[in-house]
Each structure stands twice: as C-alpha cells, then as structure tokens.
Amino acid sequence: MDRLRIDAAPPVTAPVFRPGRLHLPVTTPDALGGDAVGVSEEHGRSIMNSLPRAGAVFAVSGHWWWIVPSESQVGLNWPTTARYWPGACLPGPLAASAAVGRTGRSVARLVHWPEDAAPYTHPLLLFIAVCRLAGVSPVSSVGTGVSPG
C-alpha cells in the first residue's frame, strides 16, 4: 500500500520566481516570519476581492505574494498557478521590502497591510480561492481517516 507524504511539496514544473526576502514589521504579534504564496497579479486582484480578510500582500514583477503562517503547505496540494515559498518572510523593517536592491533586482512592494496588523491571510481560504481561479478542485493530501469498506 502506497502512503502519501504530507510533508512533500508538489513537483514544480516551471521556474519559481522569488523576490528578495519579504520583511514584516517587527511589531507583528508573534515577531515571527512566515511563508508566502505567489500568484499572478491578475489572480491576486481577484483573490483580494473574494476573501473576507486579507493579510499582508507584497507585489514584485507581476506576482502578488500572500503572507501565510509557516508550514501552511502541509496537507495541501497547491495548484500549479501558485508558488509556495517556505521561509519567505522575516521580521524586520517594512521599508526594506519597498526598494530596488543594490543588484538592481526588484524587491517586493507592499500592496496591502491589514487594519488589525496581523500579517497572515488564512491559508485554507487562500487555498480555496487560488484553486477556484485555477479551475481545479481543492485537494488535500491528508487522508480523511475513513478506511474503505
């Protein structure tokens, strides 16, 4: 019997574009970093309008990066239209994410910061929104706990 690995990320078939590290203000409630989910700007705008609450969102080179709690990829098969970036966010000065680096490489600019200052978008709601826009059913890699007959 084959066992699913819930900690394995799905294979990536396209190159993963990642900006420089995303910096969250040191005033975040837990002073921890987080992960990010990247989608196209077009999808990002649709997602922003569909979620009841959006956390911090950064943009760079046509991609919007949604901040989620660390390890939010566990048990989720993100569609190929999204890129999951573990460890994307670090506590630090927000201004560090809003400039062009010395190498000339674009770094992220802040698109949205939530009023309640909690930087995270709910990962399951984001996952469902990303799947809907990708035209796929949300699929979990975690078993239901129900064994067949």
Q: Which residue range forms the structural domain that includes residue 42?
A: 30-134
Of residues 3 and 121, more confidently modeled: 121
Per-residue pLDDT band for 132 (boundaries 50, 70, 90) equals: very high
Residue 36 in any domain: the answer is: yes
Predicted local distance difference test score (pLDDT) of residue 121: 94
Does residue 8 belong to any structural domain of this protein?
A: no
Residue 49 lies in a domain: yes
Q: Does the pLDDT at position 83 exceed 70? A: yes
Examine residue 72 and state whether it is found in any structural domain, yes or no. yes
- Residue 94 DSSP code: G
| Averaged pLDDT for residues 30-44 | 85
Which backbone phi and psi does 26 adopt, to 5 degrees? -65, -5
Task: Identify the three-state secondary structure at position 44.
Answer: helix
Mean pLDDT value of segment 110-115: 89
DSSP 5: -
For residue 7, give the amino acid letter: D
Residue 6, in any domain of the structure: no
| Stretch (H or E) spanning 132 | helix 123-134
pTM: 0.71
What's the pLDDT at 148? 46
* Count of domains observed in the chain: 1
Name which of 104, 76, 92 is nearest 19 in CA terms: 104
